[in-house]
Structure 1
Amino acid sequence: MRRGLSDAVLYDENKIYERYGISSKQLIDFKGLRGDPSDNIPGVFGIGEKTAVSLLQEFETLENIYKNIEKIKISVREKLTRDKMQAIKSKKLATIVRNVPVEFDLEKAKIDDFDKKKLVKLFEELNFFSLIKRIPQNKLDESENCSKKEKKNKSVKDFKYNFIIKEKENDFWKDLSQKKELSFKLETQERENGHNEILGVSFSWESGRAGYAKYSEKTRSFIKDIFENEKIVKIGYDLKISIKILFSYGIILKGKLYDIMLLAYVLDPGAKIDFPFLVLKELGEEIEERNNKGQLGLEIMSFQEKIEKICRQTDYIKKLKKIFEEKMEKISQTQKKQKNLETVFWEIEIPLVEILAQMEMNGILLNAFIFQGIS
């Protein structure tokens, strides 16, 4: 492979000779001398490609090189003598074993019907979440799960989002202010000074429903009222970042808070808690991550596609909250009161979010005298 799968070079015996100046049979001897870092084959330290080729052109094999070691110039001879065992071992490592007693029956290799449920369960245990969606359908699965598939497709397709335009603004904010619970996602852009500029915000009030509004001087008061309304439960992912960004705009996040990232952490400390992984694992949906840095990383995405993507993610946050909350409640019921997961989440993790955000914004107070002593 020269450049991925699209640009490959086919090596036959002539191509190998053209590239290296030795025969294909001598490649194992070449790697014994030169080594191969990509395969952790050490070779002889200090022997490069040019020296290895010239030695093999003269003596043909590694074994023959060591038989004629006295004929080789002193500087190269010393290196060969020093790493002789390593050279022999490297040649062995580079040699493909061709006499393994492999019995292969093509008929037995045919793909037959399989139990998809068992395979999905195994993949989940092995954390092969990205492969679950790539498992092919089988006849058994198709006949048994036809109705389930229809229901699932219906639920996936049952997603509606609104881009709030001026004519609808007042009604939208009025309806939002009356909701008991909202998931949200800020759309931001980092500026050169490190400041995160809010471009817009999306909210989801029920499963499959979301709305997006651009941030402006006109919508700021509406957004502020929603975030500072203590009666509305707010759900987000990594709320510490949101708290800091909103605070820089004079907006305080108030009311009961759910942080999906922390919920996932409390349920399974040490496991992956990045957002795309959680969505794939719990909801079976893949989020395409794009690199927006640099000129080559510019997103080629329409404004409408961008809004839909943000609104879908806000909907995912709401759905994840329900799943994680149920899991936390179920586990907590088996634990002692005041010493369960709910206690850890509500009395330790959530209060810490605001404290850590304040620490990162304000800094912390240090006793300079003590630190001088330590230094």
Structure 2
Amino acid sequence: MTVLLIDGNSILFRAYYATAGIPGRSIMQTKSGLYTNALYGFVGMLIKSISNIKPTHILVAFDTKAKTFRHEEFDDYKAQRKPMPEELAMQIPAIKDFLDVMGIKRLEIEGFEGDDIIGTFAKKAKRNNHDVIILSGDKDMLQLVDDHVQVFLTRHGVSDLEVFNIDNFYDKMQISPKQIVDFKALTGDNSDNLPGIRGVGPKTAYQLLSQFETIENMFSNVDQVKGKIQQNIIEDKEIAIRTKRLATINCDVALEEDIPALKRQTFYKLELRQFFERYEFNHMIGKIDAIPNVEETFIQEESVVNSPKIEVDYSFEEACKCFKQPSFIEVELDHANYHRANVLGISLLFEEKGFFLEKERLFDEKVMQYLEDSSIKKGTLDSKRLIASLAKLGIDVQGIDFDVTLGVYCVNPSHVSNSLPTMFSRMIPCDLPEIDAIYGKKAKYHVPDLTVYAQYSLDKCFYAKRIKQPLIEALTSTDQLSLLTEMEIPLAKVLAEMETNGFAIDKKRLVAIGETFKQEIERLREEIFAKSGTEFNIDSPKQLGQVLFEKLGLSTGRKNKTGYSTAADVLKSLAEKHDVPRLVLEYRKYVKLYNTYVTGLIEEIHPDGKVHTIFKQALTLTGRLSSTEPNIQNIPVKTEDGRLIRSAFVPSLDVLLSADYSQIELRILASMAKSAHMIDDFNHGLDLHASTASKIHDVPLEEVTKDMRRYAKAVNFGIIYGMSDWGLSETLHISPGEAARFIDKYFAIYPEIKVFLEKIVEEAKQKGYTTTLFNRRRYIPELSSPNFALRKFGERTALNAPIQGTAADIIKKAMVLLNQALKEANLKSKLIAQVHDELVLDVKQEELETVKKIVKEKMEKATEIGVKLTVDVKSGSNWNM
């Protein structure tokens, strides 16, 4: 029997500092802003330890915030330690939740440290001849090593472990385990603020312990100590004895629990999968099955999970007999990107029968008629993927009335997952395998036997059908069913068509732009070499740091594990002092432009000369769309170089048309807050920022300066994102006091906005979520966090979510209306892209004026909010308009 005792505080500190504080590297967070780097390291360490050690019993011991008996005896015990970083403190509840999910005992006792709890259980375990492994980053634990106890000490984060046992201890430490506390008594322990004997360093301590074994024996024979150190030993005797006493782990804490209470409990795959999904540790989901003691799901649900699923019928004739019935449909492909994939076939699940039709069967007239019949209702897992995939075969899928992924997204965006078992398991029992288990992952992606992927496809339909009713009930109870059926499902078809249409790229122009960037990179490289007086690898942070801080002698930079930091903030601070840092920043800018927006885009061009981006409809928490392969929403628009990249995006017809909502979020704010002044300004077509500046500075509109307008613009947009007076001062480079006065004046002019913002945060705290004008919910668990910083993040989210979410809903509705209008007018012009508040269309020249009129009408009248919606329309030969 092996007992694993884990020093919780030590490990979580190690896990946190393994990545926190590294220059140029942000702390790991979820999309909602939850810090997770310590949690991630702790989880990885524990899973690895369980898999490698295979302990029968586990305990994780934590310190408490309360003072211990050591503080009572010595006021300065650990007094030098800084408070725990807020970003770490907020992760501790999640770490404890993880242990509970894993069925692992955790313990903390006021008045004692985690070390004492571990020492006591180690003593109990070895008394029963159990083997003990202690996992810690604290060398204090080494005093517990003996015939039954090993200590695994963390080095460099939590992944690198050094093993100490009774056989190797002396070779590593030059003293015995029992002498660890004597060593600390002699030298002191800076980490715990414990003093030792003056003048005694490690070398002297080793000599004294070799001669006397213990400090007590040394004090009894102090006359044998040679040299000046003797007087210090005599004078500091009581200090050394106290330090030894405080450094000694208490192995006799009165505990209610005994070793049997530490026995590892069975944990459930479903709960652990949900935990990983919640904290966005998606790649860890695939490791769950390898962890000992895992169970598929809850015992009481086994009969439901293992209920017989429908076996695949390959009979085409039998399938045709069912073609008047509603069904659930899933398409199988030979590539993860459905725009690059070949269709393998589709599964069809009817009331009692399930079929798989291979690709050749899909061209049959009966199949095409069924799929294109809008009167026959069909459900699916991902309607956009289904529609776009079959469109390549000339099949226009109609009649989709339910989309599982979009249904889950409307219920709660954070519940959507790339892992189908995880997503299903939030509402129904599910034992569907992960897709990687069927097709393999990334480089190992392969098409399995027909019988394997056909049954898997039908199983997906089986669970999609079963989750439909729970989803409908959930959406009905929150009044969100229309959000799914009237907005998201119709939009999915529009997006599928946009993706299929694609966005043409002038590859020759893009290559030419790339050559320009390469020339600029080379010019900057030569100038950097000339200014620094040496040639080196600019892309190497280590070599760059040596040149900047050693050769050029610039002010000493921050150091990390690999050398000097050359992060952007460091280079910016040095750019005023020397040309090289400034030139390196420019160099990096062009390298990124070339790699991301030239090489990266060229790799995404399909054989038809277009990029077929995938719009992520169920990803963001706000309801906004995002895109990937390529991400066209990240292409810079405000810089000259970014606009140069946009100029390579061209029409496949005659001309591109761009339609952009003007200040839509501020218009929504004015509407929601019922701000009379702001609504009046918008409805009369005034420049809002200039008008705001005019009111704040009490000057006529024509006397508003550029700086006045800039200040007003900053506060207008800052208000939406919960900007504080400190944040405004940083943005405008003014004092916090001046920024506070500016905000006070703003709220005096627009009092309704202040009332609205306070009300929206208060309602969100009560409900736990915010809603858009279309009733889309954004759940904000951070609002109820005991952590101050996390609560403030939740409040800022609550301010912005209804506004940004409503803007997303409005443009979604406009896209559906616009696409329908273009078809009803029998126009060849078509939607091809959506980027934030902008729609891009590929237009026939002779249809341009007609399309402009339709676009403005459908976008500006997409919904009535009491404030005039304005759309700016431009056209040109490329996207740089």
Distance 2:474 2:387 in 1: 26
Kindly provide the amino acid, as one letter, of the partner of residue 159 in structure 1.
I
Once the 2 structures are TM-superposed, how far is the Cα of residue 65 of structure 1 from its aligned partner? 5.6
What does 1:58-207 correspond to in 2, within 5 Å? 61=183, 64=186, 67-69=199-201, 98-104=251-257, 134-136=297-299, 152=304, 156-157=307-308, 159-164=310-315, 169-173=316-320, 175-179=321-325, 181-190=326-335, 195-206=340-351
Give the root-mean-square deviation of aligned CA atoms: 5.4
Distance 2:253 2:415 in 1: 40
Residue 421 (structure 2) aligns with: 276
* SS of aligned partner of 1:232: coil
C-alpha offsets along residues 266-295 of structure 1, whole Å, 9 cap, x if unaligned? 223433455312332333121111521367
* SS of aligned partner of 2:373: coil
Work out which of the residue numbers 326, 338, 341 in structure 1 matches 2:480. 341
Distance 2:422 2:411 in 1: 15
Change (3 A) 1:262 1:107: closer
Change (3 A) 1:371 1:183: closer
Are 1:306 and 2:453 matched, yes or no?
Answer: yes
Change (3 A) 1:371 1:186: closer
Distance 2:52 2:262 in 1: 31
* SS of aligned partner of 1:199: strand
Residue 293 (structure 1) aligns with: 441
Residue 225 (structure 1) aligns with: 369
Q: Quick check: 1:229–1:255 contact (8 Å CA) kept in 2? A: yes
Q: Quick check: 1:279–1:286 contact (8 Å CA) kept in 2? A: no
Kindly provide the amino acid, as one letter, of the partner of residue 259 in structure 1.
D
Residue 216 (structure 1) aligns with: 360
Distance 1:8 1:108 in 2: 19
Once the 2 structures are TM-superposed, how far is the Cα of residue 313 of structure 1 from its aligned partner? 1.5
Which range is displaced more, 187-196 or 226-235? 187-196
Change (3 A) 1:360 1:101: farther
Q: Quick check: 1:243–1:357 contact (8 Å CA) kept in 2? A: yes
Distance 1:55 1:108 in 2: 34
Distance 2:53 2:346 in 1: 46
Once the 2 structures are TM-superposed, how far is the Cα of residue 226 of structure 1 from its aligned partner? 2.0
* SS of aligned partner of 2:441: coil
Q: Point out the structure with max Rg over C-alpha.
A: 2
Q: Quick check: 2:382–2:403 contact (8 Å CA) kept in 1? A: yes
What does 1:345-360 correspond to in 2, within 5 Å? 345-360=484-499
Distance 1:105 1:5 in 2: 21
* Alignment: residue pair count: 293
Kindly provide the amino acid, as one letter, of the partner of residue 101 in structure 1.
A
* SS of aligned partner of 2:330: strand
Distance 1:224 1:322 in 2: 28
Once the 2 structures are TM-superposed, how far is the Cα of residue 241 of structure 1 from its aligned partner? 1.4
Once the 2 structures are TM-superposed, how far is the Cα of residue 259 of structure 1 from its aligned partner? 0.6
Q: Quick check: 2:330–2:380 contact (8 Å CA) kept in 1? A: yes
Change (3 A) 1:215 1:3: same
Work out which of the residue numbers 373, 395, 401 in structure 2 matches 1:257. 401
- Normalized against structure 1, the TM-score is what? 0.59
Change (3 A) 1:243 1:98: farther
Distance 2:433 2:249 in 1: 40
Kindly provide the amino acid, as one letter, of the partner of residue 216 in structure 1.
E
Once the 2 structures are TM-superposed, how far is the Cα of residue 40 of structure 1 from its aligned partner? 11
Work out which of the residue numbers 157, 179, 185 in structure 2 matches 1:37. 157
Once the 2 structures are TM-superposed, how far is the Cα of residue 25 of structure 1 from its aligned partner? 3.7
Distance 2:459 2:173 in 1: 62
- Normalized against structure 2, the TM-score is what? 0.28
Once the 2 structures are TM-superposed, how far is the Cα of residue 34 of structure 1 from its aligned partner? 8.4
Q: Quick check: 2:472–2:481 contact (8 Å CA) kept in 1? A: no
* SS of aligned partner of 1:161: coil
Kindly provide the amino acid, as one letter, of the partner of residue 244 in structure 1.
A
Structure 2, gaps ≥5 residues long: 1-44, 56-129, 132-140, 146-150, 162-169, 189-198, 205-246, 278-287, 289-293, 503-831, 834-839, 842-873
Structure 1, gaps ≥5 residues long: 14-22, 42-52, 73-93, 111-119, 138-147, 333-339
Distance 1:95 1:359 in 2: 70
Are 1:240 and 2:390 matched, yes or no?
Answer: no
Change (3 A) 1:315 1:25: same
Bigger relative contact order, structure 1 or 2, given CA contacts below 8 A and separation 6+? Answer: 1
* SS of aligned partner of 1:187: strand
Distance 1:321 1:195 in 2: 30
Distance 1:360 1:36 in 2: 46
Change (3 A) 1:229 1:283: same
C-alpha offsets along residues 116-136 of structure 1, whole Å, 9 cap, x if unaligned? xxxx9xx79x97999885445
Distance 1:343 1:251 in 2: 27
Change (3 A) 1:172 1:95: farther
